[in-house]
Structure 1
């Protein structure tokens, strides 16, 4: 973990020294957040040390939940000690549709306002029947969460952009879920990888997006509807295929407040400081 801290410090210094002096108004002014899954391999070696690394990066928000073998109460205490809040947490589709109350309890422990679901179970191809069932489940579960002051968000994953009628299956899900109970979290990488246009979709459904995952995909990787790609294709923002500046301008314009870096790459320790320096360098 000491090595991880040293690598982090080195890259922060290197990137900062190489960035051009900012002349205009900064584009990204929101708190910097991270998805806890990014550190899935670090938490088992030391939760406190991993959180210290996260804090050293200037990250003040996390999308949870807690890592394995650390209770929600203990993890909340550790986050509080480091000034890190948890506005949102992830939930498994099957688990939350079966028992939403357990996630409401968890969200209240952390003070979360949002619960996101990042995957809809389906076969080799995501179908209209999958979309219809998901919309029904999201409306039902979203109503239960809303009664406790929590917003359900579906996190798109790329496979939903298959064609349907005059749009896509993602369009179907948005149009057939109740805005009172169901909102959305955009994952930049998966939206792009599935053939969606992140900027156009942000404006198209501007009242539905509440959260965002900050991710970029390696240049040369072709789009598809699998909802998956090698984790090594996750790259630092500004080094991949996505026009990050345009996406962040649209996200800011429609009022997204919480942004979480999610870097699934085995090289995330080196890449996250580059991502942070890059978004800080962007101007309006």
Structure 2
């Protein structure tokens, strides 16, 4: 783990020269704090929380969407993140738990200093997300969102691709957006899963811009044809800018829409190799 960390530091230092050279030419499109979804380091956190956080800090990351590592109190984890200049603006909760009683999730979110709580999966039969599933989600999301708002938090649903099942003149994702209360329910766009589910992230931002408060930045390997399962092998998750997602236009529209936080999420098994390259790519983008 520590060897990996030192290798990462060296790679990061080399990339800084590239990043700085880009920064000197033109106005950067990448003006938001660097954020990461903790799932990126799912294989490292269970082994060594402190060293994993050092790795994240070494990349210049200052925001993280994260839950509490197993066996650790939220206050302890927040203290470790604070010591490294890493804020946790967003955390997650399980659908069933939050639909039943979101009290513990609310407590953890506040202990972490989070302002947003997201759900990333609606229970359903794989490959068969139905109108009934969407209707149940709408009812639960409106209820959960109201309770979270009363506790000073914003609820977001994170798309996973299967919601783009055709329905009437649009999709079941359209149904969910249109039937949830904008005052209580917002969304986190995962741009890879939108693309993989057959949607166009650019079109979604144009259509529902202000409903999106958070964003997962990730890229889908070129040539991969998506589906409605909400799943794809980890090797299809590539360095930002190397895949088929139109990241520059997405960032332009997301900024205009008022997206608040952006988290790079690398679901590959090459996160130590790919994360520095993804950050360098974002730094290279110009308006």
- 1:96-175 to 2 correspondences below 5 Å: 96-124=98-126, 125-175=128-178
Determine the C-alpha separation between the residues in 2 that align with 1:151 and 1:222. 33
Deviation at 1:7, TM superposition (A): 2.8
Contact 1:232 1:266 in 2 (8 A): yes
Bigger drift between 272-281 and 251-260 goes to 251-260
In the alignment, what sits opposite 1:2?
A: 2
In the alignment, what sits opposite 1:81?
A: 83
Consecutive aligned runs of 4 or more in structure 1 exceeding 3 Å deviation: 13-22
Determine the C-alpha separation between the residues in 1 that align with 2:191 and 2:10. 27
Contact 2:163 2:228 in 1 (8 A): yes
Determine the C-alpha separation between the residues in 2 that align with 1:224 and 1:2. 38
In the alignment, what sits opposite 1:262?
A: 265
Structure 1: 5+ residue stretches without partners: none
Determine the C-alpha separation between the residues in 2 that align with 1:83 and 1:103. 23
Superposition CA RMSD, Å = 1.2
Residues 257-282 of structure 1 deviation map (CA, whole Å, 9 limit, x = unaligned): 20011111110111000000000110
User: What secondary structure is seen at the aligned counterpart in 2 of 1:135?
Assistant: helix
In the alignment, what sits opposite 1:231?
A: 234
- 1:189-228 to 2 correspondences below 5 Å: 189-228=192-231
Structure 2: 5+ residue stretches without partners: none
User: What secondary structure is seen at the aligned counterpart in 2 of 1:95?
Assistant: helix
In the alignment, what sits opposite 2:286?
A: 283
Aligned length: 284
Determine the C-alpha separation between the residues in 2 that align with 1:104 and 1:90. 10
User: What secondary structure is seen at the aligned counterpart in 1 of 2:36?
Assistant: strand
Residues 88-117 of structure 1 deviation map (CA, whole Å, 9 limit, x = unaligned): 001111111111111111111011111000
Determine the C-alpha separation between the residues in 2 that align with 1:225 and 1:71. 37
Residues 67-106 of structure 1 deviation map (CA, whole Å, 9 limit, x = unaligned): 1122211101101111111110011111111111111111
Deviation at 1:16, TM superposition (A): 4.3
Determine the C-alpha separation between the residues in 1 that align with 2:67 and 2:16. 31
Contact 1:11 1:274 in 2 (8 A): no
Deviation at 1:14, TM superposition (A): 4.3
Deviation at 1:45, TM superposition (A): 1.4
Determine the C-alpha separation between the residues in 2 that align with 1:67 and 1:217. 28
User: What secondary structure is seen at the aligned counterpart in 1 of 2:35?
Assistant: strand
Determine the C-alpha separation between the residues in 2 that align with 1:189 and 1:221. 11
Determine the C-alpha separation between the residues in 1 that align with 2:96 and 2:116. 18
